[in-house]
């Protein structure tokens, strides 16, 4: 069974059709802006899959999901820091714990080696 056609990648039009041309090739196109693709020597499913392929859109969606996860991680870190201010502690302890919470929140798997090097360098300066 054929999957549903995505809207036009150029105008966003929902009125998209697919049909066989006179040579047995599948055409998929937007009725609104007339953008069309022709799929030579392929099946109807192949033509629809080709029309629905959006590598840039898929990459952007993946980046949005990554940024949402980063945002949630940072929100949790800020909540921890905010909770510190309501507990009776000395100023140095609050600053130290805030630094560690912030560092952990900003450090991703790819940043970890660089963060460790930077932390060692700053310790040597003290």
pLDDT at 50: 92
Other Cβ atoms less than 10 A from the Cβ of 74: the count is 13
Q: What is the pLDDT of residues 4-40, one digit of tens each?
A: 999 999 899 999 999 999 899 999 999 999 999 999 9
Question: Angle 91-106/55-84 helices, nearest 10 degrees?
Answer: 170
How far apart CA 49 and CA 35 sit, in angstroms, is 16
Tell me, yes or no, if the pTM score tops 0.85.
Answer: no
Write out pLDDT tens, residues 85-94. Answer: 666 667 788 7
Phi-psi bin for 13: left (phi > 0), alpha (psi -120 to 50), beta?
Answer: beta
């Amino acid at each position: 069974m054929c999957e549903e056609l995505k809207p036009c990648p150029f105008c966003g039009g929902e009125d998209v059709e697919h049909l066989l041309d006179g040579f047995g090739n599948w055409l998929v196109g937007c009725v609104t802006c007339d953008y069309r693709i022709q799929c030579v020597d392929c099946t109807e499913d192949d033509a629809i899959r080709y029309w629905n392929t959006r590598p840039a859109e898929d990459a952007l969606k993946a980046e949005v999901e990554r940024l949402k996860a980063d945002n949630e991680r940072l929100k949790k870190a800020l909540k921890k820091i905010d909770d510190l201010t309501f507990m009776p502690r000395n100023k140095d302890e609050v600053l130290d714990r805030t630094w560690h919470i912030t560092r952990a929140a900003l450090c991703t798997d790819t940043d970890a080696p660089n963060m460790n090097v930077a932390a060692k360098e700053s310790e040597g300066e003290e």
